[in-house]
Homo-oligomer: A and B are copies of this chain.
Amino acid sequence: MSRQLHLNAFLMSTGHHEASWRLPESNPVANTDVAHYQNLARIAERGKFDSVFFADSPVLIGDVGRRPAGSLEPTVLLTAIAAATSRIGLIATASTTYNDPFNLARRFASVDHVSGGRAGWNVVTTAGPDAAKNFNLADQPAHAERYDRAAEFLEVAYALWDSWEDDATVADKEAGVWGDSARVQPIDHVGRHFQVRGPLNLPRSPQGHPLIVQAGSSEDGKGLAARYAEAVFTAQQTLADAQAFYADLKARTAALGRDPETIKILPGIVPVIGGTVEEALRLEQELDELIKPEYARQQLAKTLRVRPEDLPLDRQLPADLPDEDEIEGAKSRYTLIVTLARREKLTVRELIGRLGGGRGHRTFSGTPEQVADAIVEWFEAGAADGFNVMPAVLPSGLEAFADHVVPILRQRGLFRTDYTGTTLREHYGLARPSPERLTTAVGAN
């Protein structure tokens, strides 16, 4: 069988277009409606997606007036979805800056148990000062410090997941011996950020380790991904940029002694799908007209660290923006936005339209054939192992993708007709880690 595409469905309330909630079809309180998300996951499972995914931050993001705000805690949400599905992988975001490794390692292992081996963790360090203020801090730790903590956090999590050997549970009723104590050991971790004795209070989970996902594309982020990530979500606007990112990350991974096949790179794509080109463009236009530019300008100003009045709607971005080095927040997002605006000489109003649709991810309007072509082009040109599909409108955009784009990818022999495994690792073609192997590989840090 030829090399196969991987598809993740990135789900977010009524869709990735910021005005999607205003469409007549949308449920504006979908953000807290578990049945909405269970329905979306069933649609993605019908399309045989590898996984569904939720972004997250432990702080209220954005302007409550402007668009749906607030969301269910993602490990709770994954568990609710696990109960409504049977095969699709379940990936949630959680912060290494604002969690304890013992609690979080246990939570993801628990999701892995209740889902029969379908859990994945998108490891983030949580940019921005606002989240810090919910956790006893006046400001976020520095970018490099957050990534240093993230690496140690992952080492602790691996050690906890491996603190029970797979066969530690003996369950010998006759002899009255439940477990083999020798196969459940403390981890005795003592590091810069954490002291954790262990063992975990949970037997080893079906996947051994939940799948590790990473989604930051800064230098620190790529370093973390090369060392630990098994799937990477990334925002890339052009084929050339995506190819460069892909080659760079695969090379970094190989340089650390890992097989580059064990890291799957999935750029984001925001498809706006219509039966005809005109229908797709009409939907895109309808959505863009629902954006309130004043709200969006305030958000853009915050990201760019300028005042809203420094961003007249019908002019290009000011010339004197800060360098990425000065940004302690979401570095790669910042650079992507500035680069996009400069390369395409967009006015602020045009930039807002582009960002409102996909927040920096590649937007693509067209027929199912055209969307499939766009996907295959990048896949075959060394820019992607698959895609992070971010429908502009939910559920209709996901239904259109699952029912009309996926069959085309299948006809071209690039996507599964059914699941061949039961775990998320199996969907992504990744091995189940054994405790031994990992102790060696990870201990090298």
Contact = CB atoms under 8 A, between A and B. Distances in A.
Contacts of A180: 64-65
A292 interface: yes
B202 A107 contact: no
Interface stretch (A54-62, A264-272, A364-372, A375-383): A54-62
Contact of A58 (B76, B98, B106, B292): B106
Interface in A32-88: 32, 34, 57-61, 63-73, 75-77, 79-80, 82-84
B73 A110 contact: yes
Given A176-B22, A176-B292, A197-B134, A29 B66 contact: no
A28 interface: yes
A174 to B, nearest CB: 8
A195 B134 CA distance: 7
A278 B164 CA distance: 42
Interface in A247-305: 290, 292
A161 interface: no
Contacts of A130: 197
A176 B26 CA distance: 13
B82 A80 contact: yes
A28 B171 contact: yes
Contacts of A65: 177-181
A203 interface: yes
Contacts of A66: 176, 178
Given A29-B171, A111-B76, A21 B178 contact: yes
A114 interface: yes
Q: What is the copy number of this chain in the assembly? A: 2
A136 B194 contact: yes
A104 to B, nearest CB: 9
Contacts of A238: none
A32 B179 CA distance: 14
Contacts of A67: 178
B72 A110 contact: yes
Interface in A158-188: 164, 168-169, 171, 173, 176-181, 184
B103 A168 contact: no
A200 B28 contact: no
Contacts of A351: none
Interface in A100-156: 100, 102-103, 106-107, 110-111, 113-114, 130, 133-137
Given A180-B65, A181-B64, A72 B114 contact: yes
Nearest to A26: B173
Interface string A193-210: 011111111110000000
15 contacts: A29-B171, A58-B103, A58-B201, A63-B181, A64-B181, A65-B177, A65-B179, A69-B178, A70-B200, A70-B203, A73-B110, A75-B76, A136-B194, A136-B196, A176-B290
Interface of A: 19, 21-24, 26, 28-29, 31-32, 34, 57-61, 63-73, 75-77, 79-80, 82-84, 98-100, 102-103, 106-107, 110-111, 113-114, 130, 133-137, 164, 168-169, 171, 173, 176-181, 184, 194-203, 290, 292
